[in-house]
Amino acid sequence: MSNLPEPISTSRLHPDADRLSDLGADSDAVLREQEQFLRSIYEGVNFSVFVCDVRENGDLYVAGWNPISEMDVGKRSADVVGKTLEEVFGPEQGGAIAQRFRTCVERADVYTYEELRVFQGKDRWFLTTLNPLKDGKGRVYRLVGTAMDITDRRLAEAAQRESEERFRLVAERTGQLIYDCDFQTGQILWAGAIASMTGHSPEAFHQFGFEGWKERVHPEDLPDVMARLERSLQLRLPYQVEEYRFRKADGSYIYVQDSGAFVENEAGEVYRMVGTISDITERKQAQVKLQQSETELRQKTQDLQNTLIELQRTQSQMIQNEKMSSLGQLVAGVAHEINNPVNFIYGNLTYASQYIRDLLDIIHLYQQHYPEPHSTIQERAEKVDLDFLMQDLPKLLASMKVGADRIQKIVASLRTFSRMDEAEMKVVDLHEGIDSTLMILQHRLKPRPVPGTKGEECVAIAIEKDYGSLPEIECYAGQLNQVFMNLLSNAVDALEEELERRPGFEPKILIRTQRVGADRVCVAIADNGPGIPPAVQQRLFDPFFTTKPVGKGTGLGLAISYQVVVEKHGGNLRCLSAPGEGTTFEIEIPLVSGQTPESTQNSSPPVN
């Protein structure tokens, strides 16, 4: 069955109908050809086509529509034929559509309009065109219409209007002039804070084109401004003038900053420039006042700096001495207090294990010789799940022993680390000191959630050890342990920051020790973090210098480390780093510390 409504005059739509009739062709064949031609149009277009009959009394009845209409409206053509628009679309929407159709009938001419309709629960915009068909008496008896879905276009237009309005409000609130200059006509479209910046009314200022703008640039600044504009045009680079003077309506000048970008046509030719002009007068005045006071402040700053350097050196040494003593006493006390109950627990675990084995053996014997115990005993055994207890209790004691072993190792590390309060040099194993420091920092090396994975992925900081064969060395063990702590903590901080910036990053710290020559050893602590910029490296060992946020660092760690290695042990502390390539700190100290070598006294910290 054809979707075409009947009757439709094919002679109005088929350009060859009269020719075929004149040729006397078979009428059935002609009609089939005509219908096939109309069907291909009616069903093949990608927009809605609909037909509505107009009765003599003005009533409107749907005669049918094409498949695209069926998809748009959600109703089959066969289901709506012969119904009024109100019956098809409801009283409200159908009445509105019928009013449009009647307007076309009254005009008896093509009628095009845009309308918002709700089909299948969705708001949609259509561009509708109605074509009236007239009979021999000139009466409109049928409307043939098309409707194109323009929802995307209308939404885009609405979004553009909203964006332009938002941009205009932002420009006015930020106190900037917005311009759009047409190089072909010399006209400029102005927007933004016109009145507050220029003193002109928006109506008057809109009269100023390119030449009007040039007239208001200070004569002394105009050559440089035009030279920058021409250079930007030649190189097709963004236009930028940091500062020039611009005349206001009252004749006074303000300092402005001008930034623009060029727009090319399809041929690649620049024909427009859009940009902003900002008032920087207050900033300029502040710069002048700042320059006036800068000379006085420079001299005072130099005097204060000399005093501060000496104060910082003295203060850092006092803090270090007090910190070493207090921390050593605290750690040693904590280790002692933990060790006593742990030894008690650890020692009794052996006896408890033996007692438990004996009790379990007795229970097994009871079960073998008295397989049918009293009902009370049987119920109690089932309630406590005796079989499970007999299996799990030895495992429980074994896990307690593992935990006690772990605590003993931590206590040993604390004791090693607590040597910092010892005032005399001792012969120690450097590897033991490094391992004890790592044990104390273990909580910062554990796996932590990867940013952006909602805790589904975790990553730990990997520790790689490349220990060489080192003899025991004479040193202040506690102070060297503090140096290891400072360098390892800084490495962990850097890796944690890199984890926040780089998803998928695998953090790693490498600790390498080796003998250097016959009388020195070297400890290198390297990380694969972001590295340190050269400007920061120059100040790494300055007292109180830090790049960490307030509250996260005092700026004393590396300064004290440098003092311990260089001044206390006659060694060297070097930083090797480059942005993006990680950081390595090298500690080089003699096997036997004696008189501080002359080469290390009053020397600046070496950095690369």
pLDDT in tens, 153-212: 888 888 877 876 776 676 667 778 888 899 989 999 888 888 888 999 988 998 999 999
Q: Is the dihedral of CA 496, 498, 504, 505 positive or negative?
A: negative
Whether residue 437 is predicted with pLDDT greater than 90 in this model: the reply is no
- Chain CA centroid to CA 345, Å: 51
Whether residue 3 is predicted with pLDDT greater than 50 in this model: the reply is no
Contacts by 561-567, CB closer than 8 A, 24 or more apart: 561/482, 561/483, 561/486, 561/487, 562/605, 563/316, 563/317, 563/320, 564/320, 564/476, 564/479, 564/480, 564/482, 564/483, 565/480, 565/483, 565/589, 566/600, 566/603, 566/605, 567/596, 567/600, 567/601
Query: What integer pLDDT is reported at residue 172 of this predicted model?
Result: 66
Query: What integer pLDDT is reported at residue 335 of this predicted model?
Result: 63
Query: What integer pLDDT is reported at residue 17 of this predicted model?
Result: 45
CB of 440 within 8 A of CB of 491?
A: no
Q: Give per-residue pLDDT as tens, 592-606.
A: 875 444 444 444 455
pLDDT bucket at 385, cuts 50 / 70 / 90: confident
Please, what are the domains in the chain?
Answer: 45-149 (3.30.450.20), 156-284 (3.30.450.20), 307-414 (no CATH), 441-600 (3.30.565.10)
Q: Give per-residue pLDDT as tens, 63-103.
A: 989 999 899 899 998 999 999 999 999 999 999 999 999 99
Task: Tell me the Cα Rg of the chain.
Answer: 45
- Mean pLDDT of the region 99-127: 92
Q: What is the DSSP letter of 450?
A: P
- Mean pLDDT of the region 120-138: 92
pLDDT bucket at 465, cuts 50 / 70 / 90: very high
Residue 556's CB is within 10 A of a number of other CB atoms, namely 20
455 contact partners, CB below 8 Å, separation of at least 6 = 449
Whether residue 257 is predicted with pLDDT greater than 60 in this model: the reply is yes
Among the residue ranges 84-88, 286-290, 538-542, the one predicted with the least confidence is: 538-542
Q: Is the dihedral of CA 574, 578, 581, 583 positive or negative?
A: positive
pLDDT bucket at 560, cuts 50 / 70 / 90: confident
Whether residue 430 is predicted with pLDDT greater than 70 in this model: the reply is yes
3-state secondary structure at position 60: strand
Whether residue 359 is predicted with pLDDT greater than 60 in this model: the reply is yes
- Mean pLDDT of the region 298-324: 68
pLDDT bucket at 401, cuts 50 / 70 / 90: confident
Strands (E), 3-156: 48-54, 60-65, 111-119, 122-134, 140-149
For the chain, what percent of residues have pLDDT higher than 90?
Answer: 31
Whether residue 400 is predicted with pLDDT greater than 70 in this model: the reply is yes
The listed range with the strongest mean pLDDT (196-210, 281-295, 438-452, 510-524) is 510-524
Q: What is the pTM of this model?
A: 0.39
pLDDT bucket at 328, cuts 50 / 70 / 90: low
- Mean pLDDT of the region 523-536: 91
